[in-house]
Amino acid sequence: MTPLPSISALVSRQDAAYQMAHLDEDYTRNLGGFLIVLVFLSFASMCMRVACRRYKRDPLGRDDWVYIIGTILSICSFIVLLLYAFDAGLGKHWLALTPDQKILFPKLNYAYNILNVSAYPLVKISILLLYIRIFYVLPDFCRSVWIGIAVVGGGGLANTLVAIFACHPVQGFYDTSVPAQCIDSISFYYWTGAFNCATDIFILVMPVAAIWKRDISHKAAVMTLFLLGGLTCIISVLRIIYYFKYDDADPSYSFLDSAYATPSEVCLATIVASAPAWGPLWHLTSRRLRRIYDSFATRTMNGRDVNQTGERTGSELNPIAFRRETEKSASTVAVGDHPSRNSTQREVIMEIP
């Protein structure tokens, strides 16, 4: 998330000289392509989760609805950040922006901040509600989960209110011509980043003991899905580090690293929150792959029964009937005359093993 200090800060001569020497640096297209991929991944994860519920004929639970709302808000934040890049010049140096872009920049910043801080806690809460769905037979564990929901929800609500009312009057956040008093946003967002990192670790570690206490199948698969959340924790730490690179004199360029890390953290959280519900999809995919493999193996074996003249033998035309006929003929002893022997001599065809 972009910190909130005024982006109309005076640019020093040294900063201006550096920016003028690097006006050709433009990463808007790279950022835009990256965000389009995140939009697709988040939307696909949401659709797969709903489709799997429908396939199992399970009604959508409270964890599903919270997840859908959080994912929709996440996608909206990605789209705003996409406009942030293409229309407001995110990824360019501040002096390379047009006057219209400099006016639009803080407005999109304000909208993105609100969407981001409200979407991420909802995705976390959906994961905690999923824990209750899976481990409902462990009352002590469920009570701990409800405490976690209260902490995450309270923190998300506080962050959203701060993002909305960071300046008084509110218009002063995105209109530098309006005199306003704003909070010390840098310190606040450092603390917020640390809070998000701590809750990520809490959500990651919480189900480990419960998984081994409960006799559930596919423990390794479930553990793998939960441990994927460790990547979210790593990205959360990187996001805090990237905040130190923010520069009021060049906000449109110094925010670039955070513009990659922040949506990546939210997108990965939506994937991790959705993955445990993909069980029917994994089973359906594995069955179809097994059928394709069996069909390919059958064709490969049948291909060996083609004779040298290119004609197909009975085993390839109808392998099942050919096998039955072979077994039937092998169970009996066939006797026939041989032209090189007299009538009293017989050839005995032994049973085929």
The predicted model gives 324-338 an average pLDDT of 49
Asked if residue 302 belongs to a domain, the reply is no
pLDDT for 337 equals 46
**CA distances in angstroms from 137 to 41, 132, 145, 191, 215, listed in the order given:** 33, 9, 13, 36, 11
Q: Among candidates 220, 122, 160, 4, which has minimal Cα distance to 130?
A: 122
Asked if residue 264 belongs to a domain, the reply is yes
Distance between CA atoms of 34 and 36, rounded to whole angstroms? Answer: 5
Query: Do 207 and 267 lie in a common domain?
Result: yes
Confidence of residue 44 (pLDDT cuts 50, 70, 90): very high
**H/E run at residue 121:** helix 99-134
Which range, 66-80, 90-104, 276-290, has the best average confidence (pLDDT)? Answer: 66-80
pLDDT, greater one: 311 or 350: 311
Confidence of residue 303 (pLDDT cuts 50, 70, 90): low
pLDDT, greater one: 113 or 306: 113
pLDDT for 315 equals 46
Distance between CA atoms of 152 and 156, rounded to whole angstroms? Answer: 6
pLDDT for 76 equals 94
Judge whether residue 152 has pLDDT over 60: yes
Query: Do 55 and 204 lie in a common domain?
Result: yes
The predicted model gives 174-180 an average pLDDT of 82
* Mean pLDDT over each residue of the chain, to the nearest integer: 77
Query: Do 213 and 348 lie in a common domain?
Result: no
Asked if residue 6 belongs to a domain, the reply is no
**Count of domains for the chain:** 2
Last residue of a domain, one of 285, 308, 328: 285
Query: Do 249 and 351 lie in a common domain?
Result: no
pLDDT, greater one: 204 or 66: 66
Query: Do 60 and 129 lie in a common domain?
Result: yes
pTM check: above 0.85: no
The predicted model gives 27-35 an average pLDDT of 90
CATH code for the domain in which residue 143 is found: 1.20.1070.10
Judge whether residue 174 has pLDDT over 60: yes
Judge whether residue 185 has pLDDT over 60: yes
Asked if residues 7 and 251 have their Cβ atoms less than 8 Å apart, the reply is yes
pLDDT for 122 equals 94
The predicted model gives 232-244 an average pLDDT of 80
Non-local (6+) Cβ contacts of 144 within 8 A are: 206
The predicted model gives 232-261 an average pLDDT of 82
> What proportion of the chain, given as a percentage, has pLDDT over 90?
17
Query: Do 111 and 220 lie in a common domain?
Result: yes
pLDDT for 308 equals 46
Tokens of 15: 């900063």
> What proportion of the chain, given as a percentage, has pLDDT over 70?
74
**H/E run at residue 334:** strand 334-336
The predicted model gives 299-326 an average pLDDT of 52
Judge whether residue 133 has pLDDT over 80: yes
Asked if residue 294 belongs to a domain, the reply is no
Judge whether residue 302 has pLDDT over 50: yes
Angle between helices 229-243 and 219-227 (to 10 degrees): 10
pLDDT for 219 equals 57
Judge whether residue 334 has pLDDT over 60: no
Query: Do 212 and 347 lie in a common domain?
Result: no
Query: Do 169 and 72 lie in a common domain?
Result: yes
Judge whether residue 269 has pLDDT over 80: yes
In the block, tokens 């990520």 appear at 200
pLDDT, greater one: 227 or 146: 146
pLDDT for 349 equals 38
Last residue of a domain, one of 269, 285, 301: 285
Asked if residue 235 belongs to a domain, the reply is yes
Last residue of a domain, one of 285, 307, 341: 285
Asked if residue 12 belongs to a domain, the reply is no
Query: Do 346 and 200 lie in a common domain?
Result: no
Judge whether residue 336 has pLDDT over 50: no
Asked if residue 39 belongs to a domain, the reply is yes
pLDDT for 66 equals 94
Identify the weakest region by mean pLDDT among 80-94, 212-226, 271-285. Answer: 212-226
Q: What 3-state DSSP class applies to 349?
A: strand
- Residue 54 phi/psi, 5-degree rounding, is -70, -35
Asked if residue 148 belongs to a domain, the reply is yes
Judge whether residue 271 has pLDDT over 60: yes
Question: Which residues are 181's β-sheet partners?
Answer: 168
Structural domain range at position 168: 21-285
Query: Do 208 and 345 lie in a common domain?
Result: no
Query: Do 212 and 265 lie in a common domain?
Result: yes
Query: Do 278 and 329 lie in a common domain?
Result: no
**H/E run at residue 32:** helix 28-55
